[in-house]
Amino acid sequence: MGERVVPEPDRRRRRPTKQGTVLSAEAIVATALRLIGQHGSEALTVRRLGAALGSDPSSIYRYFRNTDDLLLAIADELISRAQQGWRATGDWQADLREIGRRIHHAYQRHPRTAILAAYRTTGRAHEIRAVEVILGVLRRGGFPDAEAVRIYHAFVDQALAFAALDAAASALPSAARQADEDVWHRTYARLPAESHPHIAATAPLLVAEMRVSGYPAALELLLEAAAARLERPRGTAG
């Protein structure tokens, strides 16, 4: 893709494309999300986007410098979707818990896109708002600035790491996904206590637990650890 982005007032298309779409950055991002969901990362090309939008592929240049610029916009859209409808309650733990769940849910709805986007830093409006909101929750909750930043970092990285991990698993072909789940029954549940006493003792629990995402439990552990740090006397090392 080229490197020239046309300013917003000059890039509005007066007539719909052949597909009936009024071309805009938002329409391009929405179409890219759909194509990646259907075909994976290989769908993120100017040719495919142009065909899906019913426009000349070069028209994408008017909105995005290159495919990486578009990918950052897509990542920012996922962040936006995770924030939609969220309202602060004043309870920092409840607020962070809900934000984390929303992040995870938004990314699981678009697993193939999540794999591409979860590790990117966009520096765009929706990401900036999310950073401001989460830091605000922590600072209003009583955390000193250094602690607020540390917990923000751990919280966001945990949410995005699990989002990418669970998205990658759900994006597997169904046969491969089922085969992975069956390993816990076929292999781990049958290991003898003589050689693997800890696995054998916990096998039923292990089989049940490993079929679901570990994110809810990991999130609770993080929130409990953060609460313990908040209750710790100021000046205590840790």
Tens digit of each residue's pLDDT (9 = 90 or more) over 50-59: 999 999 999 9
The torsion of the CA quartet 155, 160, 161, 162, rounded to 10 degrees, works out to 90
139 and 225 assigned to the same domain: yes
59 and 163 assigned to the same domain: no
CATH number, domain containing residue 166: 1.10.357.10
99 and 169 assigned to the same domain: yes
Stretch 173-202: mean pLDDT? 96
- Host domain of residue 28: 18-64
Stretch 13-41: mean pLDDT? 82
Nearest partner of 108 among 178, 170, 180, judged by Cα = 170
**Residue 20: helix, strand or coil by DSSP?**
coil
CATH number, domain containing residue 44: 1.10.10
47 and 141 assigned to the same domain: no
105 and 161 assigned to the same domain: yes
* 33 neighbors 110 (Cβ within 8 angstroms): yes
At residue 169 the predicted structure's pLDDT band, cuts being 50, 70 and 90, is: very high
Asked, for residue 96, whether it belongs to a domain, the answer is yes
Per-residue pLDDT at 182 exceeds 80:
yes
Per-residue pLDDT at 3 exceeds 50:
no
Stretch 149-154: mean pLDDT? 98
At residue 7 the predicted structure's pLDDT band, cuts being 50, 70 and 90, is: low
42 and 91 assigned to the same domain: no
pTM value is: 0.86
Confidence at residue 232, expressed as pLDDT on a 0 to 100 scale = 79
Asked, for residue 135, whether it belongs to a domain, the answer is yes
CA atoms within 13 A on the CB side of 65: 4
54 and 91 assigned to the same domain: no
158 and 219 assigned to the same domain: yes
- Of 139 and 171, which is predicted with more confidence? 139
136 and 47 assigned to the same domain: no
- Most confident by average pLDDT, 7-11, 186-190, 232-236: 186-190
Mean pLDDT taken over the chain: 91
Nearest partner of 32 among 58, 81, 70, 5, judged by Cα = 70
43 and 142 assigned to the same domain: no
Asked, for residue 213, whether it belongs to a domain, the answer is yes
63-109 per-position pLDDT tens digit = 999 999 999 999 999 999 999 999 999 999 999 999 999 999 999 99
Per-residue pLDDT at 236 exceeds 80:
no
119 and 227 assigned to the same domain: yes
At residue 22 the predicted structure's pLDDT band, cuts being 50, 70 and 90, is: confident
Per-residue pLDDT at 114 exceeds 70:
yes
For the beta carbon of residue 212, count every other beta carbon within 10 angstroms.
Answer: 10
Confidence at residue 64, expressed as pLDDT on a 0 to 100 scale = 95
Domain count, the chain: 2
Asked, for residue 218, whether it belongs to a domain, the answer is yes
Confidence at residue 43, expressed as pLDDT on a 0 to 100 scale = 87
Residue carrying structure tokens 């900036």: 128
109 and 59 assigned to the same domain: no
Q: Tokens for 113, please give them.
A: 């896109």
- Of 5 and 233, which is predicted with more confidence? 233
Handedness of CA 79, 80, 86, 92 (dihedral sign): positive
DSSP 50-115: HHHHTS-GGGGGGT-SSHHHHHHHHHHHHHHHHHTT----S-HHHHHHHHHHHHHHHHHTSHHHHH
Confidence at residue 20, expressed as pLDDT on a 0 to 100 scale = 60
Per-residue pLDDT at 26 exceeds 70:
yes
